Amino acid sequence: MGKALGKEKQMDVQKLIQEKKQKRNVTKQFEKVIPFLLLLCAVISVLTTIGIVFTLLRESFTFFSEVNILNFLTGTDWSPWTGHFGVLPLITGTLLITVIAVIVAVPLGLMSAIYLSEYASDRVRKIIKPTLEVLAGIPTVVYGFFALTFMTPLFQNFMELSIFNALSAGVVVGIMIIPMIASLSEDAMSSVPNSLREGALAMGATRFEVTMKVVLPAAFSGIVASIVLAISRAIGETMIVTIAAGASPALTFDPTRSIQTLTAFIVQGATGDTTFGSTIYYSIYAVGMTLFVFTLLMNLLSQWISRRFREEY
């Protein structure tokens, strides 16, 4: 009986060893496959970007073979259906919306981040931060109708304002990008070591002084990067400005007037009676290329600021 039990135990041990070897072999094969899958994902991302840039460049070159690039960049009349392709009104409209959005979003987003990072308790932070980030999940078309049906009538109680205007659209775009600034800035401030705060408090500084003179300078690169990324988001916003700002390209910085942005024209040109292969059709890609250059420059600026002012602890 003893020998039989011993053999059974030995067989069980051998089975366990074999099972572990099989699992180990499967794991090794899996680990060999994973790097190739990750590489494939990276290659697909790069090829997609290259494809987008190639498409924009190809169609833009076709457009600029018909329209002088200097006239396109310096012209003050944008009326493609009458043969005028001066993009400056679209650029000024885009910048106007962006400036209004930044004026709204930066103070509110930064103050929210300061409160969440330095003043709020853990319980309050767990409630407020997810609630604030819900704003980022609202569809932009909803924001657009909110600007048109709520913000515009509200502003009309205090000033003369057309139904479609840059002010309402810019304010709502600012509200939309608040979570981006607040969340990223709060993460940057939370990453500042507590030893810096404790050292400043030990020297007699108040909490406000610690926030303004220690935490904000230490988290400066992350804060500025979040603002630059939010600006890029505002520049590329489409549905809010399409619904609330109108479709009247005008070389103006008057926020009470109807304007048109780069993205709004792309929507207008892509829908309607635009003939495939026409100059108007190719102008969509030229405007898209202009927008691409804007956002690319903003992202490069964000990366440079992050590297230039990054603090390592």
Spans of all domains in the chain:
72-308
Q: Where are the alpha helices (DSSP H) in the chain?
A: 2-64, 69-74, 88-114, 122-133, 140-146, 152-156, 166-190, 194-202, 207-210, 216-218, 220-235, 239-244, 262-270, 279-308
- As a whole number of angstroms, the distance between CA 135 and CA 197 comes to 31
The per-residue pLDDT for 27 is: 66
Per-residue tokens: 307:
């590297």
Count other Cβ atoms within 10 Å, centred on residue 258. 20
Mean pLDDT of successive 10-residue segments in the chain (313 residues)? 51 61 66 80 88 87 85 83 84 91 92 87 82 81 89 87 88 91 87 82 82 84 86 86 84 85 83 73 87 84 73 59
Model pTM greater than 0.85? Answer: no
* Contact (Cβ atoms closer than 8 angstroms) between residue 87 and residue 72: yes
Q: What angle do CA 118, 121, 126 make, to 5 degrees?
A: 105
User: Tokens 């709204």 map to which residue?
Assistant: 104
One CATH from 1.10.3720.10, 2.30.29.30, 2.60.40.10, 3.40.30.10 for 72-308 = 1.10.3720.10
Q: What is the DSSP letter of 115?
A: I
What string of H, E and C letters represents the secondary structure of 207-271?
A: HHHHHHHHHHHHCHHHHHHHHHHHHHHHHCCCHHHHHHCCCCCCCCCCCCCCCCCHHHHHHHHHC
* Contact (Cβ atoms closer than 8 angstroms) between residue 231 and residue 102: yes
- As a whole number of angstroms, the distance between CA 89 and CA 74 comes to 10
- As a whole number of angstroms, the distance between CA 73 and CA 300 comes to 22
